[in-house]
Chains A and B, each alone.
Chain A
């Protein structure tokens, strides 16, 4: 049990705001090697390190050394082929690669070698479903299509190589590619963005919102979830007038009141702010939810909460640089 590793008594009340609290929490949770684990004291890992960088750089007070050592840790842990490993420290992940690239990119003046290699790996990493051979095999076996109704030719990104496309890793990759200057993108980037966006629209749940990526199973509409809906809306924010975006945003607004987890609440607040929608001040609710279970000491949740409290980050500002056409 890792209880000895966590930060005891987060002492909410001594902080003037939850923003200050999460800022201090993340600063204190940084490992001596420069990275962050999923919880304080855990071994550093790419995803929590990337989220911490993206959150802390929103705070002007974040000192350069904190971010520089974090960026160095990410650079040191990049695999030879360009990907970043999952928490295994060994196997590559599409989502860890997209988030690590984005974090380094936002600290660098321009895409450097690490980012270029990461982008190349990501754009060359196709999910396992949807190629012609796979579709013929599925049709022959009469599998999959009877169960889930979706267009398997529309491929986004998988969580890990050699598996299927899912909503969240596709969103992270799209957001990254939207932030890379056109001239620094691999040749396949435009095609991947177009396919990825189409895949997200193909996976929207009837009535709006997204779940992990199966909107219809055995003909029954899937139930949307907060986090995938937020990330899909953020990745598709340059199509904000499309019916699916409007419907999904309305679903998110309707369901904000019922959110019971601090991570989901923080992400919902961030999304509503990016879309310029009035969001009820959530700080007190976020405080309450965080106090309930000490947000399970989750570094990603702390980073999302800090992002939600800090305004709109520049990597989600304005219409992204269009790379594909729907």
Chain B
């Protein structure tokens, strides 16, 4: 992709997707080696391309369960550079915290990737360009989006594996909310909520299609996510070139039924594969990686019945 090159393909006409589940017990493990090996398997077309990594940074968090871990970000950045990327930029526009730099400092991101005024772009204050939304599922017929995102050749969504108190879960598709700039829509980007969160997720992801997704599930968040939940160690990185398939796989790992998650169901119609039989699993299988997450009572209906032999 990224901006509007990818075709919207109805699910019946779509080839299978591949998703890798890698066991990574903690952040002391060799994350770099794991990601390097994983990305090589996908043979990604990034040589001489500008790569944009979109992590999930929400607010300063000393416990390390809210934001994508900088070790995973560094590992991805190094891997894309080794694959020949012309540049790798880390870019994010936190949803309700204007002090982006405060979040980065608590994360110590510069210790991992060097001076941030060069490695990082605050999407909340970037220059923007107006882009028509491709699906127009919400009332938003166009969005003002950061030029850094629209101009990138290859976009990687890198969320944390978390529950979410408005939509059930937040993974690689919901993570793309962060590309919508605060300097046009405010903090929070309330326009998206009023236009319908699920529909907005579809519109954003159809307009700026993430080419790849890497979900940090080494330690995620369960319960009252995405901010006030409790840490949940799933011990996995989940990666793939179809964000819908990646999110569906993560939902299954979390003990949830992806087809009951409204925005995933919508995304599966046009953007990617949700059905298990259309996802080729690499690395660990879902059953062995399955670590059911606690969810708020309001989302009980998302819970999948436990497969035979699974942890519940």
Q: Which residues of A contact B (CB under 8 A)?
A: 1-3, 6, 37-39, 42-43, 45, 47, 86-88, 90-91, 93, 95, 128, 146-147, 158-160, 162-164, 166, 168-169, 211-212, 217-218, 220, 222-223, 225-227, 259-264, 289, 292-298, 300-301
Contacts and interface: CB of A to CB of B under 8 A. Distances in A.
A54 to B, nearest CB: 17
B196 interface: no
B224 A261 contact: no
Contacts of A42: 127
Contacts of A262: 101
B122 interface: yes
B102 A260 contact: yes
Given A261-B102, A295-B101, A301-B101, A146 B191 contact: no
Given A222-B228, A262-B101, 13 more contacts: A38-B126, A86-B144, A90-B144, A95-B186, A166-B186, A166-B187, A168-B187, A218-B165, A227-B99, A260-B101, A289-B105, A292-B116, A293-B115
B306 interface: no
A269 to B, nearest CB: 14
A220 B165 CA distance: 11
- Chain B binding site: helix, strand, loop or mixed by DSSP? mixed
B228 A264 contact: no
Contacts of A162: 194
B183 A45 contact: yes
Interface in B92-127: 96-106, 110, 115-118, 120-122, 125-127
Interface residues of B, number: 49
Contact of B99 (A45, A128, A226): A226
B128 interface: yes
B191 A163 contact: yes
Contact of A220 (B89, B104, B224): B224
21 contacts: A39-B125, A86-B184, A88-B184, A91-B144, A91-B184, A147-B165, A159-B188, A160-B190, A160-B191, A163-B190, A164-B193, A212-B187, A218-B298, A225-B96, A227-B98, A261-B102, A263-B98, A264-B99, A295-B101, A296-B125, A300-B125
The 3 closest A-B pairs by CB, nearest first: A159-B186, A261-B102, A38-B125
Please indicate which of the listed interface residues A38, A220, A293 has the most CB atoms of chain B within 10 Å of its own CB. A293
Nearest to B127: A42
A137 to B, nearest CB: 13
A2 B121 contact: yes
Contacts of B50: 1
A176 to B, nearest CB: 17
Interface of B: 50, 59-60, 87, 89, 96-106, 110, 115-118, 120-122, 125-128, 130, 144, 148, 165-166, 181, 183-188, 190-191, 193-194, 224, 227-228, 296, 298
A263 B194 contact: no
A158 B190 contact: yes
B101 A47 contact: no
Contact of A3 (B118, B130, B191, B296): B118
A263 B102 contact: yes
A128 B194 contact: yes
Contacts of B116: 292-293, 296
Contacts of B130: 88, 90
Contact of A2 (B148, B186, B193): B148
Contact of B101 (A6, A159, A160, A261): A261
A262 B117 CA distance: 14
B120 A296 contact: yes
A211 B96 contact: yes
Nearest to A221: B228
Nearest to B104: A293
A259 B101 CA distance: 11
Contacts of B186: 93, 95, 158-160, 163, 166, 169
Contact of A263 (B99, B166, B191, B193): B99
Contact of B194 (A3, A93, A163, A296): A163
